[in-house]
Every structure is written in C-alpha cells, then in structure tokens.
Amino acid sequence: MSENKFVVVDGSSMLSTCYYAVLPREIMFAKTEEEKLKHYDKILHAKDGTYTNAIFGMLKMIVSLMKKQQPGHIAFVFDKTRDTFRRELYSQYKGTRGSTPDPLKEQFVLMERILEEAGFKVLYSDQYEADDYAGSLVMKFREQIPMVVLTKDHDYLQLVSDEYNVRAWMVQSRQEKADELYKKYYSFYGFGKEEINLPEKVFEYTSDTVLREEGVMPEQIPDLKGIQGDASDNIPGVKGVSSAAPLLLREYGTVENIYAAIHEAESDKKRLKDLQDFWKNDLGISRSPYKAMTKTSEEELCGEKAALLSKILATMKTDIEIDFQLEDFNVSSYMEEKIREWLVRLDIKEASIFGSGK
C-alpha cells in the first residue's frame, strides 16, 4: 500500500553496489588491473557484449521498490564527475579512489538512459554530486510530502529530520546487519517488519537512531566529519581526535563553537587548563584533543583549517535550483513496459526481475 512518500534514490551508490556485489571471483581477487582485464568477459553481459551485472541488480531493486514500497514520487540522483566544486576547494578530494572500471562506467550511462525512458526524473551535472541534488530535493519538497533518501552513503544522514518527516533508508552490507538494527530499535516497540515495510538490506534512520548510532544529531554530521574526516572521500578531518568528536559536539554543537571555546581559553593558562579538565571530567574525554585540534603547519593541512575545510566538504548543498515541481516526480509517469523492453534488448530474463507472474 502506498504511503505517498517521495523516495530519492542515490543512483551512483546503488549501481556501484550492484556492480561489485556480483563480480566474478577472478576479478574480485585479482591483484592488478591487467589481471582484471583478462576476466572482463566473465562479467554478466548481453549477447552484443553490453555489460549488465549492475543494471540487472539495480532494475531488480527498482521493480521491487515500486511493487512493495509503492512510493508516490521518486527521483534518481547520480554523480557525473569527481571534478566538482569540492575538488576546487580541496584538490585531493576523493583523490584516493581508483578510476571507475570501464564495465561500470558504461552501465552508468545506460542506466540513466533506461530510467529516463521509463519515465523517471534523473538528476546529475558536472558541477554537483548526487547528494547535493538529493539535499536540494529534500529541502525543496520536505514541507509538502514525507521524504526518504535511499543510499549507502552516511553523508545523507544530515538530511534526516523528524520535524519535516525526512528519513534515510540506509542499505546495509548484509541482511543480518539490517535485522540486528531492526531488533535493536523496532522489535522492542512491537513493530513487525511488514509494518515498517523496508526494502531488502535496509534500515530506516530517524533523528533518534542517527543520534544513537553516530553519536550526534543529523544536522551535526558535517561537523562530525569535519573532525573525524572521511576516508572514503579523502576528507582529512583532524588527526587524533576521532573518539572525542561526538563528545565535543554534544557539548558545543558545531566545529566553530568548539574552536570559539578554545580561543577564548587560550589567552590564560589557567582557563586553558580548566577547559581541558572540563573535557576530561565532565565530558569524559580521556585524552585531551587540544594539541591535535590546534596544530599548525605550512606543510600539511591540519588543526582548525583542516576541521573547517573538512566540514565544508562534507556539507551537502541544499540550494541547487530545481525547475521541476512535485507532480513532475509522480510515479504515474512510470512505464513498466519500457523496463520490460530493455530486459529483452539486454538478454535479461523477465522473471528474474519481475518474478514468475506478470
């Protein structure tokens, strides 16, 4: 039964997850790119050679979503390039990631085309990332309709809001992990899984579960990453302050407020000692993060500069101009027959996506 939700799907995260989930073992365990190339022919593909392993998984997920969760509105957001405005701010942003494999790169282009032909709105550009479009969609429509973001990316947790009924459907690595979280937070209240009605491997985050799992409120996620960093995006953070970050943020709220407290105390040795004693005795921080947080260097990004820049890098844009109106994302434009046509063209059995019945 439809709950008339607006689901924003992180297409890049979903397609990548589907790609790596069913790669041949020979590629998964290959030690060099040359060795991987030798086994590309083992990746699921159509008769004409078009790679389909990621598309297969994502189409199966989409069809299941439309059938079981029945959102009233849906949008897909994708990354088009890593050279967005964030790399202009920090040249090493996402610099530790390897290049996207050609078989996945090809499926990104084709997946976007399939979704558009099936009647879905697909958003991407050279300047912004998928999560920036997700944030802007949530901000534009959250007062009109309950919003859900479907992703594996914890950056999206900053959008969660109980006040505006915004939830995050976070895809877990295993169904068992999702079940563990379900038992931890929902079974206590007597909810059945059918009542919650979540996709496979998904756990729904509210503001409360974000606080319990991450240690901070949703709006503080960028501040948390400002201090802790994010290895997946190569956001530096402040080295040596990871465990103290949630404790400091619960007390001061933001990165800026933490540094304001530090600067205020630095003018007097006693006040600085009192501050560090407060951190230890009242906040429970066993090892003072003061030195790490105030470190300066001309050779490396560290201390306050690293924290403030990292927060900016981790903050989603929520003000991209989106010309579409809410009705443009209505699922009434979804044309299932287009999906079926593509399955034939890609030599994917209909039953493997839609089940045995039509």
pLDDT of residue 190: 65
Measured between alpha carbons, how far is 300 from 304 in angstroms, rounded to an integer?
Answer: 12
DSSP state of 317: P
Range(s) of the chain covered by CATH 3.40.50.1010: 6-152+163-205+325-354
pLDDT of 340 above 90: yes
Measured between alpha carbons, how far is 254 from 224 in angstroms, rounded to an integer?
Answer: 9
User: pLDDT-derived band of residue 2, with 50, 70 and 90 as boundaries?
Assistant: very low
Provide mean pLDDT across the span 120-125. Answer: 96
pLDDT of 299 above 90: no
More confident residue, 333 or 310: 310
Measured between alpha carbons, how far is 289 from 279 in angstroms, rounded to an integer?
Answer: 9
pLDDT tens profile 67-114: 999 999 999 999 998 889 999 999 999 988 888 999 999 999 999 999
pLDDT of 186 above 90: no
Q: Which helix (H) or strand (E) holds 168?
A: strand 166-171
| Class of 6-152+163-205+325-354 in CATH | alpha beta
* Two structure tokens written together for 129: 């990332």
The matching CATH number, chosen from 2.40.10, 3.10.20, 1.20.120, 1.10.150, for 220-314 is 1.10.150
Range(s) of the chain covered by CATH 1.10.150: 220-314
Amino acid at 10: D
pTM: 0.94
pLDDT of residue 193: 66
Measured between alpha carbons, how far is 10 from 223 in angstroms, rounded to an integer?
Answer: 22
Burial of 110 (0-12, 13-18, 19+ CB in 10 A): middle
For the chain, the average pLDDT equals 94
More confident residue, 195 or 246: 246
Provide mean pLDDT across the span 207-236. Answer: 96
Q: Which helix (H) or strand (E) holds 28?
A: helix 25-28
Residue listed under structure tokens 């019945």 = 357
